Amino acid sequence: MRLRRGPVMQAWRPLLHRLPKVDLHRHLEGSLRLSTLMEIARRHPIHLEFGMGTAELEPLIRFTASEPADFHRFLSRFQLLRLFYTSEEAIRRMAYEAVADAALDHVRYLELRFNPAALAQTRGFHLEEVVEWVLEGVEQARREFDIQVRLIMTIVREENPEVAWRIARLAAGYRPQGVVALDLAGDELQQPARDLVPVFRWAREQGLFLTVHAGEVGPPANIRHAILVMGAHRIGHGIQAIHDVHVLRLLHERNIPLEICPTSNLQTGAVAGFHHHPLPDLYRLGLKVTLNTDDPSISDTTLTDEYLFAMAGMGLHWKDLLRILENAVEAAFLSEEERRILARRLQQEIQAIEQSWRLEG
């Protein structure tokens, strides 16, 4: 799956690591440290059909280069990860570490999404409890690291409508605590979104932003439905739009951002390789594309990696990456004033990096 390490990657990695970044599409459930999972398994009675050493656990959590790319195989990781949401301490720690790891990769603004039902289900926690624990972990990390965080609550397509409504109401109720949006995820190949349309329309009326996973492995028509029927402000992935000129026109006319996650797209089988990824074409068509991680621990990636793959694997240049970073700032679920402050901060940091780079060169 990964690019071979070559001179381009070796030369650019330090600079891209230093680059202040924005990640709009990162799942808490896919951002768990392997060491933390092993520690949780030792502390709590988790019944697994394999040993608990790193060698046994890692290939079940992380998508390896040797296994075939497959959308449902990728999604199956989340069923295993649900076993580890064992306690208040574990969930708070997972949220803290997800934010800390992003900050250590020089992500300055993060939108972290999570599904309260997934976190609550295995141990029978109340949805309100797990939301509070996530908020506490995020707030602790935000205080300790140089990062701004907003939260998105996720509903999966196969969710019971009653639970979906509860999540939407929770998201609306926690807006003062930094919950800014509602997300639709899950199996877009087998689960249509029509039963959840009223939930998302209601959420938009309450002032929440909406983002919908659509057009990753599913048809471009899913993107059209997400925008015109559900009212999505952003599209998660959306790369299949490249196959439908009418959907491309819709995205362009409405200035709908795409949350693109290249490594994840390879592992789900949405694209055959970095050199086949449509991101450069979508970018050159003038669409508002952004670069994101999706599930860093499952994909074994960082946002630095995603920027590097866009450069070394897709042929984008430094100035292209900076424009994509600007897109992410413009697409952030923030107020106009908050976006201006974030843009100013990133611009100052980038200018300092470029000045240092010229002096060092």
Give yes or no for a contact between 214 and 200, defined as CB atoms under 8 angstroms apart. Answer: no
Residue 113 bridge partners (DSSP): 27, 152
Enumerate residues 6+ apart whose C-beta is below 8 A from 21.
Answer: 105, 106, 107, 108, 303, 304, 307, 325, 328
216 catalytic per annotation = yes
Enumerate residues 6+ apart whose C-beta is below 8 A from 33.
Answer: 97, 101, 297
Catalytic residue among 29, 159, 188, 216: 216
Q: Where are the alpha helices (DSSP H) in the chain?
A: 7-18, 34-43, 54-61, 71-81, 88-104, 116-121, 127-144, 161-173, 197-205, 220-228, 245-254, 262-267, 279-284, 296-299, 303-312, 318-331, 336-360
Phi, psi of 207, rounded to the nearest 5 degrees: 100, 5
The SS3 call for residue 56 is helix
Residues 327 and 81: their CA atoms lie apart, in Å, by 32
Q: Please list the active-site residues.
A: 216
